[in-house]
Amino acid sequence: MSKYDIIVLGSGPGGYVTAIRASQLGFKTAVVEKESLGGVCLNWGCIPTKALLKSAQVFEYLKHAEDYGLKVSGAEHDFGAVVKRSRGVAEGMSNGVKFLMKKNKIDVIEGFGTLKTGKKIDVDGTIYSADHIIIATGARSRELPSLPQDGKKVIGYREAMTLEKQPKKMIVVGSGAIGVEFAYFYNSLGTDVTIVEYLDKIVPVEDDDVSKQLERSFKKSGIKIMTSAEVTSVDTSGSGVKATVKTKKGEEVLEADIVLSAVGIKSNIENIGLEDVGIAVDRDKILVNDFYQTNIPGYYAIGDVTPGQALAHVASAEGILCVEKIAGQHVEALDYGNIPGCTYCSPEIASVGLTEAQAKEQGLDVKIGKFPFSASGKASASGAKDGFVKVIFDAKYGEWLGCHMIGAGVTDMIAEAVLGRKLETTGHEVLKTVHPHPTMSEAVMEAVAAAYDEVIHL
């Protein structure tokens, strides 16, 4: 029986990062993976979807070349080639993780791992033991009883990335990040897309102003949007699929080639031995303390299987913190109130901290500033005037409570707000920090200036 200091179960962005940090700290480390190194994120999520979205963006540039004084004739897309490129990007990233495992002398154990008592893991009949076992098994597409996935006409995100043929009509159920990203991708390539959202706005976790702006941008692109609507049943008996949608006005039947179910995720906690070991679970999540220890000594859990935000960068941060605590380092608990969220449709969305509604619900006296990209020189020159930056500050102390962006490239801009909040900066400090011109990022400074009635360019 092989013995390790740390065994990580799962090699997604939580698992493989955890394993590398553990190895850096001098631990003899192994990672168990049943499929491909990099997990869903590298192989079926974050990375290949961004490759698809980039192809869609380039195609949109070609379609609108005349807006930039250019002439392009006969621009076409090859759906199969777009999908092939995406898979190639994913394969390259997974191979990169293989290299990192080898570089850091981490043993990769291929197979399905099942937890055992006594800090052991059974991988397809072979037993391994460790002083510390870290569960990082991630999540998968959640299925609704009214929307069972058959992988052909009713699909999840995984199938949506590898369809052999582009559908003429698609219904996207759910308007979180996965839903709106695929809605944008397929619409850009010419698919007739309808979004069905159960709540009263799309991207419902975002600030109300962001949701309204994305709805305007999507409708301008030809995407149909149904909010306060629910798919109650689907009929796949014909050549396509018929979805019965319940709305405030009554029932409506939508016809399409494919229905994409994007209604959230389900933690991968079944059949991995949690019950045998006695690890506590509540509402589909493994219960952990601030340093990711479960109720059973020697067993830890990070990432999508725990109650924190189900985001790749959260899983990575949790894993690093977990092994540094094991190593005896002084570490601070993760601040889940300062986690950035990014959505890569077009226009992009990025946010951190409280929304305006949340701040007011807490009874806070706030200053709010908003700067539209339509007033930005860089955005105008780039032909990307949709969207804005919105900032929320505590009126008394100047604390940066929240930042919400929608527009071109904002997922690369949000880190300024995350760092500023981490360093407890104030509105006046941001305002007096010189931002480069012309850039999209100077809209952050302008939004802060608007909050303090000092805006120049609006």
pLDDT of 152 > 90? The answer is: yes
Domain 2-141+266-336 fold is FAD/NAD(P)-binding domain (3.50.50)
Q: Which of 194, 169, 203 is nearest to 252 (CA)?
A: 194
Annotated binding site for FAD: 50, 113, 304
Query: Residue 458's pLDDT is what?
Result: 82
Residue 334 banded pLDDT, cuts 50, 70, 90: very high
Candidate list 64, 404, 428, 437, residue with the active-site label: 437
| Domain spans of the chain, in order of start | 2-141+266-336, 154-263, 347-451
Q: CATH for 347-451, among 3.30.420.40, 3.30.390.30, 3.60.15.10, 3.40.50.150? A: 3.30.390.30
CA distance 298 to 259: 43
Q: Which residues are annotated as a binding site for NAD(+)?
A: 174-181, 197, 264
102, two tokens = 């080898």
CA distances from 303 to 9, 93, 395 (A): 11, 20, 35
Predicted local confidence at residue 396, as pLDDT: 92
Cα dihedral across residues 104, 108, 114, 120: positive or negative? negative
pLDDT on residue 319 = 98
Half-sphere exposure of 39 (CA within 13 A, CB side): 26
pTM score, whole prediction: 0.94
390: pLDDT strictly greater than 80 = yes
Domains 2-141+266-336 and 154-263 share a fold: yes
Q: Kindly tell me if the per-residue pLDDT of 1 is higher than 90.
A: no
437 noted as active-site residue: yes
pLDDT tens figures, 120-148: 999 999 999 999 999 999 999 899 999 99
Which secondary-structure segment (H or E) carries 188? helix 177-188
299-301 and 126-135 beta bridge pairing: parallel
Q: pLDDT by residue (tens digit) across 212-233?
A: 999 999 999 999 999 999 999 9
Q: Which CATH class is domain 154-263?
A: alpha beta
**pLDDT surpassing 90 at residue 199:** yes
Chain segment 400-443, per-residue pLDDT in tens? 999 999 999 999 999 999 999 999 999 999 999 999 999 999 99
Q: CA 229, CA 8: separation in Å to the nearest integer?
A: 41
